A = this chain, B = another copy of it.
């Protein structure tokens, strides 16, 4: 697809359509008639496969269309009206969801991040301080914890870190929710030691991202303990998140969870990212937010950024001062070796 003189595009990891196997399966099943709203056989089968992959035979599985929508719906379902959600100050819900959580009536209670993550001890202290504060009845009660894996910085919670967070949440009787918008890229990273069954064992709710991991769209919400959220289908509907043709999400996740595709799909991206990181270092660039997944963050002078952007479309991340900025190079499941080679040559 990439020709020699064309500008290359790496501004995000959702620039292509879907994995070819998904399109093929949509094509094959297109004229079958099914019932709506996720009650079809494809969705059921996808749910079964996800339950199996997560080793969570009792789990409830629902398919929504996008990440912000999924976060807003799940968080609204888990919280009482007077509760807020604890998250890193760099969390997607804190910054880049246009106030969707607040539109549902809930405050995002931010903690300072550490490499995009929140530490169990910080959560623990925050909860203790809240309950010890004599004015806490006038404050927003922390009602759940939100994390993302990989984080917005591409970093990963280790199994130890996730276990500690899970324990803090359970000790405090509040649910732990994990946003897996890019989960395939975590699962594909050699450094990762958190499996799908680990997520099911340690989280109260999590979602397996499709949109950024090879689907046309779609996120699979997994609730390991059956019945944790009563009437969740109605809650989904109320949030405008219920697909009439639920089968379109079902077919996609059925495909992603056939022959371990979801656990393999991120590998080319992670390998490419590692190669790009290596090349950047060798060429003297300064990497920021070092991470083992598919997003590469590099600090550039504005002029440098302008020059590189002539050949490489990168994603703007943030200005660090008047003359420097952080740019993101995102590698997707669809990345091709030639593309990586040319990208590295252009750096």
Q: Chain A: residues with CB nearer than 8 A to chain B?
A: 1, 9, 11-12, 14-18, 20, 23, 26-27, 29-37, 65-70, 72-73, 76-77, 80-82, 84, 95-100, 102-108, 129, 132-135, 137-141, 211-212, 216-217, 231, 233-235, 237-245, 247-248, 316, 318-319, 334
Instruction: Give the residue name and chain of the B residue nearest to A233 (CB).
Output: B137
Tell me if A23 and B26 are in contact (CB < 8 A): yes
B residues in contact with A15, CB < 8 Å:
33-36
Complex: how many Å from CA A23 to CA B16? 15
CB distance from A30 to the nearest CB of B (A): 4
Complex: how many Å from CA A242 to CA B143? 22
Contact of A17 among B29, B107, B211, B243 (CB under 8 A): B29
B residues in contact with A95, CB < 8 Å:
139
Instruction: Give the residue name and chain of the B residue nearest to A136 (CB).
Output: B234
Tell me if A107 and B102 are in contact (CB < 8 A): yes
Most chain B CB within 10 A, of A1, A70, A240, A319, is at A240
CB distance from A89 to the nearest CB of B (A): 10
Tell me if A17 and B138 are in contact (CB < 8 A): no
Tell me if A36 and B23 are in contact (CB < 8 A): no
Tell me if A231 and B82 are in contact (CB < 8 A): yes
B residues in contact with A84, CB < 8 Å:
99, 102
B residues in contact with A73, CB < 8 Å:
240
Tell me if B12 and A32 are in contact (CB < 8 A): no
Instruction: Give the residue name and chain of the B residue nearest to A251 (CB).
Output: B17
Most chain B CB within 10 A, of A77, A235, A239, is at A239
B residues in contact with A30, CB < 8 Å:
16-18, 20, 23
Complex: how many Å from CA A84 to CA B235? 13
Instruction: Give the residue name and chain of the B residue nearest to A332 (CB).
Output: B33
Complex: how many Å from CA A237 to CA B68? 8
Complex: how many Å from CA A158 to CA B95? 32
B residues in contact with A242, CB < 8 Å:
66, 68, 138
Most chain B CB within 10 A, of A103, A105, A134, A319, is at A103
Complex: how many Å from CA A72 to CA B72? 15
B residues in contact with A319, CB < 8 Å:
129, 132
Instruction: Give the residue name and chain of the B residue nearest to A80 (CB).
Output: B231
CB distance from A113 to the nearest CB of B (A): 16
Complex: how many Å from CA A340 to CA B245? 22
B residues in contact with A34, CB < 8 Å:
15
26 sampled A-B residue pairs with Cβ under 8 A = A12-B35, A17-B29, A17-B30, A17-B32, A65-B65, A66-B240, A66-B243, A66-B244, A76-B81, A82-B234, A82-B235, A84-B102, A98-B238, A99-B106, A100-B239, A102-B102, A102-B106, A107-B108, A133-B316, A133-B318, A135-B316, A141-B234, A211-B244, A211-B245, A212-B244, A216-B216
